[in-house]
Structure 1
Amino acid sequence: MLKKLFKLIGIVILLSVIGYGVLYYLYNEPVPTGESGPEADALAYRIFDALNYKNFNNTKVLEWSFRGDHTYKWDKEKQIVVVSYDDVVVNLDLITPHSSTATINNEPASYEKTQDLIEDAQSYFNNDSFWLVAPFKAFDRGTERYLVDMEDGSEALLVTYTQGGDTPGDSYLWIIEPSGRPKSFKLWTKIIPIGGLEATWEDWIKTESGVFLPTQHKLGPLSISMGDVKGTY
């Protein structure tokens, strides 16, 4: 019986390895090369203009969720984020994370548990907020921008993050509509082993504060809903 079980497990592992190899061969792309300098920066500013970056700066509170799993209310002025999931609520202080607080079922968590929840909330926020406001992070500290000429004659913006976040070294190639609004980006990240997968940025809305934000993404067969996106003064 055990021999049959181990044989079955071995077959499953072998098929998984073969399947991954096929997917890697078919879809993996190297990070494209481009030119850094004023033209790359100008394309980034064009995206800013299309999404009303000035209004983003003036937005005081952003609200959204990520795939229905995590819910956020980000006070940009105070740099405090209320992160909610399951029966957990973390009041995450982005300036001094150690001063953050956490509750479970409306009861204060222990000190040790709070530290774990703060770490989780930071990781969730870093990932989930990126899917909301990544276009506005093209000039963050440690970023490098490159203008990439595409095969169809259009221009795309490659942004590489050399520091910060959970996975420094990640790169994103922004595919841009004629209006300057992002249509999608291709990803080269540490957590996704196949480089160059494309995720859409769609169903944009103009918030109360005047900034344009996405409410939906598609990454292959995966749909990523950003929930009820709000931006207020």
Structure 2
Amino acid sequence: MKLKKPLKISLGVITFITLPSLLFFGFLYFKHHQDLPLGTEGKPADDLATKMLLALNYEAYTSTDYIEWTFKNRRHYEWDKTKNICEVFWKEYKIRLDLKEHSQSKAFVHGFTIEGDMGKELVEEAKDYFNNDIFWLIAPFQVFDVGVTRKLVTLPNTKKGLLVTYNNNASYLWHFSDTGMPKSFNMWDSNTPIDGLEASWNDWQITETGVKLPTFHKILFFSSEISDVKTD
């Protein structure tokens, strides 16, 4: 039985679109895929993590009460660390996230409170945005958080890397400059389509309180800019 012409054309178009995409993904996969490396827990790993924190002025981070930033020109954040409150802005929405008492969070549009299911959905969306976007700003400062493990990894160039694993099993292998400043990490997490994909940590800004925060990341051909960074 012969395929009808419109169906043959549709199949041809689908093949034309998907086959190059699959081949390209296959190329990227074999070029960038890495297995999760082995490492050793203990004092050497903790010492490397501490060196990174010192390079970033961790003491200034702990004494910083307020951080403001914009992620990829899409979402803006005003985070009051001392009150565990973050105001999240995107499109016409403003969400007041209560990071301690999540049920007290509120959603607004053009200054009017949004309640009911829509309000709850917007609060959850803001929470997801916050959890993702803040990671790209302060991940180095989370290496000693509860539930986080640190392992020392010997890299192919004989330098040392720090493998950080969170309690959700997401792992990140940090690479450093000689001064201990983070340069990049490889990722093994549920959001990354290729295990071991590398993301850069660039253009560190010394903020008003003295803490160093990144303003640029690059993954393959994609970049993420962090702007309007302010601290108090």
For the Cα contact (< 8 Å) 1:215–1:228, is it kept in 2? no
Tell me the secondary structure at the aligned position of residue 30 of structure 1.
coil
User: Which amino acid letter does the alignment assign opposite residue 207 of structure 1?
Assistant: T
Match of 1:165 in 2: none
Q: Is structure 2 residue 110 aligned with structure 1 residue 114? A: no
Give 1:106 shift: 2.1
Determine if the alignment matches structure 1 residue 172 to structure 2 residue 172: yes
Instruction: Provide the rounded CA distance (Å) in 1 between the counterparts of 2:68 and 2:78.
Output: 5
The separation in 1 between residues aligned to 2:59 and 2:209, in whole angstroms, is 10
Aligned-pair CA distance for 1:140: 1.5
Match of 2:71 in 1: 66
SS at match of 1:191: coil
Question: How much has 1:3 moved relative to structure 2?
Answer: 2.9
Cα contact 1:63–1:74 (8 A) shared by 2: yes
- Which structure 2 residue ranges, 5 or more long, are not aligned? 1-5
In structure 2, distance between residues paired with 1:189 and 1:105: 36
Please give the secondary structure, in 2, of the residue aligned with 1:108: strand
Matched residue type, 1:196: G
Corresponding position of 2:201: 201
In structure 1, what is the Cα distance between the partners aligned to 2:61 and 2:209?
Answer: 8
Q: Distance in 2 between matches of 1:220 and 1:17?
A: 17
Hey, what's the Cα distance between the residues in 2 that align with 1:108 and 1:6?
49
Match of 1:133 among 110, 134, 138: 138
Is 1:83–1:121's contact at 8 Å kept on the other side of the alignment?
A: yes
**Native 8 Å contact 1:201 1:217 kept in 2:** yes
Which residue does the alignment assign to 2:100?
Answer: 95
Identify which range, 134-143 or 78-87, moves more after superposition: 134-143
Question: How far apart are the structure 2 equivalents of 1:6 and 1:107?
Answer: 49
Secondary structure of 2:23's match?
helix
Unaligned segments of structure 1, at least 5 residues:
163-167
Cα-to-partner distance string for 1:186-205 (whole Å, 9 max, x where unaligned): 11111112111111111111
Offset at residue 41 of structure 1 (A): 0.7
Whichever of the two has the greater Rg, that structure is: 2
Give the aligned partner of residue 220 of structure 2: 220
Residue matched to 1:161: 166
Q: TM-score, normalised by structure 2?
A: 0.94
Report deviation, 1:6. Answer: 2.9
RMSD (CA atoms): 1.2
Determine if contact 1:64/1:227 at 8 Å carries over to the other structure.
Answer: yes
Match of 2:150, SS state, is: strand
Instruction: Quote the Cα distance in structure 2 between the aligned partners of 1:22 and 1:152.
Output: 24
Q: Counterparts of 1:194 and 1:222 in 2: how far apart (Å)?
A: 14
Range with greater deviation from structure 2 (86-95 or 202-211): 202-211
Q: Percent identity?
A: 41
Tell me whether 1:190 sits opposite 2:195 in the alignment.
no
How far apart, CA to CA, are the structure 1 residues paired with 2:10 and 2:97?
A: 46
Q: Distance in 1 between matches of 2:34 and 2:21?
A: 21
In structure 2, the residue matched to 1:40 is: 45
Q: Deviations over 1:31-65 (max 9, x none)?
A: 11111111101111111111111110110000111
Deviation for aligned residue 1:221: 1.4
Q: Which SS does the other structure have where 2:228 is aligned?
A: coil
SS of the counterpart of 1:129?
A: helix
> What is the count of residue pairs matched by the alignment?
227
Q: Distance in 2 between matches of 1:74 and 1:187?
A: 26
What SS does the corresponding residue of 1:226 show, helix, strand or coil? strand
Aligned counterpart, 2:3: none
User: Following superposition of structure 1 onto structure 2, how do residues 10-25 of structure 1 map, counting pairs within 5 Å?
Assistant: 10-25=15-30
Question: How far 1:100 sits from its partner (Å)?
Answer: 0.4
Bigger mean CA offset, 55-64 vs 199-208: 199-208
